[in-house]
Structure 1
Amino acid sequence: MVTDHIHELEVEESEEYISRSEKKRRSTAIQKIGEELASFPISAIRSFNLPPALLQEYEELHKITKHEAKRRKMQYIGKMLREVDIEPIRARIEEVQEGKAAVAADFHHLERLRERLIQGDKEAMDAVLELYPDVDIQKLRQLVRNTKKEMEKQKPLKSSKLLFRYLRELEQG
């Protein structure tokens, strides 16, 4: 009898003790990952290689319109996620978000470059010529000139959009 009690103590010590608070924090973190994943379109969610049952739950979630029903479905998805290795999902979410941030940064860079060209910044023109050796300088100057004219006449900025597209084409190579 005493040996049974000692054996039970050894088993308890060898198992990792997790407090209720820690379990709750982990559960909340998994729930947040589930919610982040739910914010993606269903076509993107399919690329995450989720178990079929979990993917089906996300597909159903995207069809639900009522708030309370969505909340309950998210709770259930969170429960299912606790049984799945969450690290590959978390890594994929970060990868996608970093890609979106990079695209946004490129977009803002091109917008600033376009504005500097329109303002007649000589350094911006030199930078474009240096960065993009295959640039059609005549086309670039024409787009800048047309944009300035449209701004002066307060017309729709068609040329400004064309200038941005041209810069984006140069950036993409």
Structure 2
Amino acid sequence: MPNIPENIELEPDDYDRPSKSQVKRDMLELQELGKQLVELSTDRLKQLPLSETLYEAIRMAQRTTSREGRRRQIHYVGKLMRHTDADAIRTQLDIWENGSREQTRAMHRLEALRDLLLKDDQALTGLLDAYPGADVQHLRTLIRASRKEAQNNAALQPGQDPQRKHYRALFQAIKALNDSTEQE
């Protein structure tokens, strides 16, 4: 160990900036995000908050067929990503990939309501109270057809595909009711 004079105080360096390693990790994350953007469709790209330069660079990478040229273009996209709001882009990509949790919960509620309608006749009364403008006859027809479809599916031999036409139609009818009240 080197001899350090005792009158010199050693204090940790107070860096105001990230380390070189952290900067490199951040750049690689942005480059990876750029790769994800290159894989998106043009319609999805237009929905993101991208600068014109970045958008054109991504489109160029999508059109590039040579492996090395594409790699270089993706590096360039990663470099341009430093000047954008990467968090907003990541958030939107996450919503597209996983769907919003609220939408998922809403779909599960509608599925549970459909299953309740198929099991319990009183559930239709509750549904009509919640949605007074609903077409009662159409809903009853769909429920009846779905129940008959379920009975036929229960009698199928192993390996035969069950029918789900009326089951899905009932879900779509409930979803349409829900959507119409949300828009009002």
Tell me, yes or no, whether TM beats 0.5: yes
- The question of whether the paired residues in 2 share the 8 Å contact of 1:117 and 1:144 is answered with yes
SS in structure 2 of the partner of residue 153 of structure 1: helix
Alignment of 1:32-111 (within 5 A): 32-63=32-63, 70-82=70-82, 84=83, 86-87=84-85, 89-95=86-92, 97-98=94-95, 100-101=99-100, 102-111=102-111
**Could you tell me whether the CA contact under 8 Å between 1:37 and 1:45 is conserved in 2?**
yes
Q: Please report how far the alpha carbon of residue 143 of structure 1 lies from its aligned counterpart in structure 2 after TM superposition.
A: 0.7
1:168 to 160, 165, 175: 175
Would you say how many aligned residue pairs link Structure 1 and Structure 2?
157
The offset of 1:152, in angstroms, is 1.6
Match of 1:112 in 2: 112
Change in 2 beyond 3 A, CA 1:69/1:134: farther
d(CA) in 2 for partners of 1:43, 1:71: 23
- Unaligned runs of at least 5 residues, structure 1: 1-12
Change (3 A) 1:95 1:76: closer
Answer whether contact 1:42 1:58 (CA < 8 A) is retained: no
Distance 1:17 1:153, change over 3 A: closer
Is the aligned partner of 1:143 residue 2:150?
no
Name the one with the larger helix percent: 1
RMSD: 3.2
1:112 to partner: Cα distance: 2.6
> Once structures 1 and 2 are overlaid, which stretch shifts more, 61-70 or 156-165?
61-70
Q: Distance in 1 between matches of 2:174 and 2:108?
A: 12
Report sequence identity in percent. 26
Report the CA distance shift for 1:49/1:15 in structure 2 as closer, same or farther (over 3 A).
same
Write the deviation string for residues 4-48 of structure 1: whole angstroms up to 9, x where unpaired: xxxxxxxxx998433112212221332343244345322121232
Q: Is the 8 A contact 1:132 1:170 kept in 2?
A: yes
- Tell me, in whole angstroms, the C-alpha distance in 1 between the residues paired with 2:40 and 2:22: 28
TM-score (norm 2): 0.66
Q: Equivalents in 1 of 2:103, 2:60: separation in Å?
A: 30
SS of the aligned residue for 2:48 comes to coil
Q: CA deviation at 1:56?
A: 1.5
- Compute the displacement of 1:113 (Å): 2.0
Q: For structure 2, which runs of at least 5 residues remain unmatched after alignment?
A: 1-12, 154-161
TM-score, structure 1 as length reference: 0.70
